[in-house]
Amino acid sequence: MCVSHYPCRVSPNTHRVLPRGPHHLAREEVLASQRGRMLDAMAEVVAEKGYAAATVADVIERARVSRKTFYEHFPDKEACFLAAFDAGAEILLGTVEAADPGTGGPLERARARVRAYLQTLAAEPAFARTLIIEVVAAGPRALERRREIFAAFADASRRIAREEGLGEGVPDEAYLGAVGAANEIVADWLADGRGHELEQLEDALVYVSAALLVGPT
């Protein structure tokens, strides 16, 4: 998942892999590409082995960088993991907020956002597992990041509903609850190895979103 406007965060699947041997790239480009490969490698290794079993050695081997290069960017495994989490979370949130079918009512717009969320995760199953499952094993700093991104999604959902004149009387906590519900549904499918099938959850997550649009009855 690419966050092109995020400093030094390069898409794990679309960044340019540096050729071996001499080249003429600016140092900033070299560093960005190396960092992108390490974030990609971290997500892949953690998805395969779990956070606890993943090592810096695994990451540098997968990213094809030296140990010295790794420590020029990150002080330890946790810092690299958090950077990968931040990169994925930011692009996911930005993609969801930007999703707009251009026509239709609130329900159609909610469906467009749900579809963007699921398509992004399904396209990047390693990042999906890192973001949604492995983060809980990565320690208190990672859990605080998770809490922050949940709050950001809840704030975005509340803002969009109110801009559309909907959600009257819906408590703020309900938006956070909807985010948590969506997360748990997706996590269940990821745990079953169904990351590539996540788009099939569209109707279920739209149902959760629709409750926020209606408000208390």
pLDDT in tens, the chain (217 residues): 443 333 333 333 444 333 344 455 565 666 578 898 999 899 999 999 999 999 999 999 999 999 999 999 999 999 999 999 988 888 888 888 888 777 777 788 888 989 999 999 998 888 898 889 999 999 999 999 999 999 998 988 888 777 777 767 788 888 899 999 999 999 999 999 999 999 999 999 998 887 766 655 5
Considering its fold, how many domains does the chain have in total?
1
In a domain, 94, yes or no: yes
- Prediction pTM value: 0.79
In a domain, 122, yes or no: yes
For residue 211, the model assigns a pLDDT of 74
For residue 2, the model assigns a pLDDT of 40
For residue 196, the model assigns a pLDDT of 92
- Cβ-proximal residues to 6 (8 Å cutoff; 6+ apart), any chain: 86, 87, 90, 91
For residue 101, the model assigns a pLDDT of 72
In a domain, 30, yes or no: no
In a domain, 98, yes or no: yes
In a domain, 33, yes or no: no
> For 122-150, how does the pLDDT look when each residue is reduced to its tens digit (9 = 90+)?
988 888 988 899 999 999 999 999 999 99
In a domain, 144, yes or no: yes
Residue 210, domain extent = 79-214
In a domain, 110, yes or no: yes
| CA angle in degrees (0–180, nearest 5) for 94-96-97 | 65
- Please provide the DSSP assignment of 5-72 as one string: TSTT---TTTSPPPPSS-----HHHHHHHHHHHHHHHHHHHHHHH-TTT--HHHHHHHHT--HHHHHH
For residue 17, the model assigns a pLDDT of 33
In a domain, 206, yes or no: yes
* Residue corresponding to tokens 């041997």: 21
CATH of the domain at 174: 1.10.357.10
